């Protein structure tokens, strides 16, 4: 399974195991946050509908990691306090983690904040 790391001001500050941790990862657009996915096996991160980043698909190399790059300036942000229903909520981005050729392994969520 993939591990999610967030970089804030060039510092690794948050680690979550996708699938194991149901809590979504929150990123700050104004803070130039980026997310990195790391895994022991080759995996694909895919934003099926819309992506808060400049691409919607990221390949995690076996035993390595891939970075999201910056958040798009026009990405929607969530301005609500949580919890709230997250279905189709602005600033909420569901994505899938799959094997390059295989079934869905996890469908976590990223939330973009100002
Ligand atoms: Zn929200």
Q: How many residues does the chain have?
A: 114
Whole-number CA gyration radius for the chain: 13
Å from CA of 109 to ligand 1 middle: 11
Q: How many domains does the chain have?
A: 1
Residue-wise pLDDT for 29-87, tens only, equals 999 999 998 888 899 999 988 999 999 999 999 999 999 999 999 999 999 887 766 56
Provide the β-strand partners of residue 11. Answer: 8
* Strands 109-113 and 25-28, bridge-based pairing: parallel
CA of 79 from ligand 1 middle (Å) equals 7
Q: Which domain holds residue 40?
A: 3-113
Taking the model in full, what pTM does it have?
0.81
- Summarize pLDDT for 15-40 with one digit per residue, the tens: 566 654 456 888 999 999 999 988 88
Q: For residue 94, how far is its CA from the centre of ligand 1 (angstroms)?
A: 12
- Phi and psi (nearest 5°) for 10? 65, 20
């Amino acid at each position: 399974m993939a591990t999610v790391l967030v970089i804030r001001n060039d510092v690794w500050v948050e680690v979550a195991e996708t699938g194991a941790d149901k809590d979504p990862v929150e990123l700050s657009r104004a803070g130039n946050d980026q997310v990195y996915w790391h895994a022991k096996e080759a995996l694909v991160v895919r934003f099926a509908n819309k992506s808060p980043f400049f691409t919607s698909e990221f390949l995690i190399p076996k035993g390595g990691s891939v970075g999201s790059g910056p958040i798009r300036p026009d990405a929607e942000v969530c301005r609500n306090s949580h919890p709230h229903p997250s279905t189709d909520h602005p600033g909420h981005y569901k994505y899938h983690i799959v094997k390059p050729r295989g079934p869905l392994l996890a469908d976590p969520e990223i939330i973009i904040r100002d």
